[in-house]
Structure 1
Amino acid sequence: MTVLKLGTRGSPLALVQANMVKDALAAAHDIACEIHIIRTTGDRVQDRALAEIGGKALWTKELDRALLDGEIDLAVHSMKDVETIRPDSIVIAAMLKRADVRDRLVGADSLAAIREHGVVGTSSPRRRAQVLRARPDVSVVLFRGNVDTRLAKLAAGEADATLLAAAGLDRLGRDDIGTALAVEEMLPAPAQGAVGIECRADDAMTAALLAALDHQATSRAVRSERAFLAALDATCHSPIAALATIADDVVTLRAELLSEDGGEHVAGDASGPDGETLARDLASALFERATPAIRAGFGG
């Protein structure tokens, strides 16, 4: 039996997602996987925002090194944590079917229900800007760490509320935690809810095996959202939201750009058969309408 070495971060959620891929490979090909835990800089440094210490590469660079050095054959990622521009030597070979894309608010039943001048904990520039746009009276403090770490900070009174991805909570069996916010109220991060699998670009055998796991609608939607990010030269500092959906072979992309303090924003949508082309067109249109305060967060 073929045995593949699967690399993953060691957080509880990352291990759940790694085992999802392991089980899917076993079901599709009767292939076994050895799970190799790779500790990343993003896991080690928890007291600063990612944007201050190197961005999304802190979740991937150690896994990239292990992959390119042949220590692992494939790497499993939460797609929203993967940099927009990847090395040519690595390919995103498959994505599992996307889960719930929404954010969950924990500590209050709604954004309106957070106490006046309350405190919200998050490390996400998008969530920070969206919360401040809806509730300019609140303060936002840095919350980093895995789900249990952030829930413990909330329980300790470091904030009145926090936001977590519904997909992660569901995968951890914690679907009873928090209140899901409609995408009309809080548009999610690009690629939220999607799990991606990467392999070396020259490893045709592994790429072919992973192709059987690819959920085409998810891949098409997420690649459209990532094309939107790329067109804007967005970084971890950029308050940006985007969600692509597919119906009758037509891609509809909704997106929002915000200023850091949430005081200004532009939003729009576009539909068409080619998600990556419409993503670039929508990015150009929104950037053209954006104020200087919004443009400051993007390369354009």
Structure 2
Amino acid sequence: MKLTTAISLLLVTSASAFAPSTPSTSSTRSTALFMAEDGEVQPLRIGTRGSPLAMAQAFETRKRLQEIFPELTEDGAIEICVMKTQGDMILDKSLMELGGKGLFTKELDVALLGDEVDICVHSMKDVPTWLPDGTILPCNLPREDTNDAFISRDGSITTIEQLPDNSVIGTASLRRQAQLMAKNPTLQCVNFRGNVQTRLRKLEDGVVDATLLAIAGLKRMGMDGCATSVLDWEEMLPAVAQGAIGIQCRSDDERSLKYIEALNHPDTKACVDCERAFLEALDGNCKTPIAGQARIVDGKIAFRGLIAMPDGSQKFETTSEGEIADAHSIGKAAGEELKAQAGDKFFEMMVEMSPQQVLGQITK
């Protein structure tokens, strides 16, 4: 699929199928309502960001709920509440400069705790390892492919190794930057933010030579044909929780818990719990490139993780395996192992580095 065709297709999709109907000051909501058991009108309100990918994930959640619970197929039984987050609104700075963690979830957390929504649908890689008091995240939907897609401008370059020296790569991810520069230190990584269609348009306009996106997001929007190639873990280890959708609710909301617990995919939940325990053990700040992935192999959980300097000059890796029931402890132990390997000086350097030293490039 050509990039121009893909961009046009996504713009049409986001303008129609994903567009809620009634605007309000804090969110945009459909008018759907249903009658609860106590006789009061009460829809199941799904909180989401408004990007095409976030909307696709919210509609996937609605579809799965309706497949299991007949009462949710009634007209107006589910309401979609769309909210803008700080991460969506500020696009001229890197996530690291803005504070990193929670930029795509904070406004949804506030809406959840304020009883404006009942559940929130998240890309799990955007969710901090801590959750606000009074909320839980008990559900992960079946995971999509976790790998990264490599997209070059004309499709003639299909691997990182084929990139000429001094090629310009658009990425907002320090994880990707570190792994790219570990392969070729001459590559120039520029901060590249915005939704998928914005990034693809910049690529086609020649702002950069190539970019990387999660193949999961492209698949969910029917745009995986844009990928020049899909990188395996040896080429580019994905982010913690990449490709996973999580659903959050208030911890005392029994009605919402009943619904979302029925959607949980145990193997995905185990892998995501393992990866998030790894990240939590490292306590990586937003300047630290961290990658971690777990998968179920022959009834066991197999984990691989790495941390690196932003310029790829240092990289520490680990692998481990164990029982699925021990997913959290496996991830935690892997994080502690890498923390010991890297040493205190490594993390002290990360804290001391300015955003300019970490990124070393201008925003494109």
Q: Give the TM-score range, shorter chain.
A: over 0.9
Mapped to 2, the partners of 1:14 and 1:93 lie a distance apart of 19
Runs of 4+ in 1 over 6 A off after TM superposition: none
Deviations for 1:162-209, whole angstroms, at most 9, x for unmatched residues? 000000001110111121001121110000000000000111221121
Partner residue in 2 for 1:120 = 169
Say yes or no: does 1:55 pair with 2:95.
Answer: no
Choose the corresponding residue for 1:76, options 121, 136, 156: 121
Partner residue in 1 for 2:110 = 65
Partner residue in 2 for 1:276 = 328
Q: Is the 8 A contact 1:67 1:200 kept in 2?
A: yes
Task: Structure 1 unaligned segments of length 5 or more: list them.
Answer: none
Q: Is the 8 A contact 1:98 1:193 kept in 2?
A: yes
Mapped to 2, the partners of 1:186 and 1:297 lie a distance apart of 21
Deviations for 1:248-277, whole angstroms, at most 9, x for unmatched residues? 432111001111111110111111120111
Aligned residue runs from structure 1 range 1-300, under 5 A: 1=34, 3-30=43-70, 31=72, 32-107=77-152, 108-178=157-227, 179-273=229-323, 274-290=326-342, 292-293=345-346, 296-297=349-350
Mapped to 1, the partners of 2:172 and 2:211 lie a distance apart of 10
Mapped to 2, the partners of 1:65 and 1:50 lie a distance apart of 20
State the TM-score, normalizing by the size of structure 2.
Answer: 0.79
* Deviation of 1:295 (Å): 6.2
What secondary structure does 2:107 align onto? helix
Mapped to 1, the partners of 2:89 and 2:57 lie a distance apart of 20
State the TM-score, normalizing by the size of structure 1.
Answer: 0.96
Mapped to 1, the partners of 2:216 and 2:102 lie a distance apart of 22
- Aligned AA (1:166): I
Equivalent pairs, count: 299
Task: Structure 2 unaligned segments of length 5 or more: list them.
Answer: 1-33, 37-42, 352-364
Deviates more, 1:182-191 or 1:277-286: 277-286
Mapped to 1, the partners of 2:173 and 2:348 lie a distance apart of 18
- Aligned AA (2:54): A
Mapped to 2, the partners of 1:245 and 1:296 lie a distance apart of 32
Deviations for 1:74-112, whole angstroms, at most 9, x for unmatched residues? 000000001111112111021100001000111131101
Identity %: 42
Mapped to 1, the partners of 2:348 and 2:305 lie a distance apart of 15
What secondary structure does 1:199 align onto? strand
Deviates more, 1:190-199 or 1:169-178: 169-178
What secondary structure does 2:47 align onto? strand
What secondary structure does 1:176 align onto? helix
- Aligned AA (2:88): D
Q: Is the 8 A contact 1:8 1:38 kept in 2?
A: yes
What secondary structure does 1:256 align onto? strand
- Aligned AA (2:116): E
Partner residue in 1 for 2:9 = none
Mapped to 2, the partners of 1:20 and 1:297 lie a distance apart of 38
* Deviation of 1:294 (Å): 5.9
Mapped to 2, the partners of 1:66 and 1:37 lie a distance apart of 11
- Larger Rg over CA atoms: 2
Mapped to 2, the partners of 1:160 and 1:185 lie a distance apart of 18
Mapped to 1, the partners of 2:222 and 2:174 lie a distance apart of 27
- Aligned AA (1:284): E
- Aligned AA (1:97): P
Mapped to 1, the partners of 2:300 and 2:140 lie a distance apart of 19
Mapped to 1, the partners of 2:348 and 2:121 lie a distance apart of 33
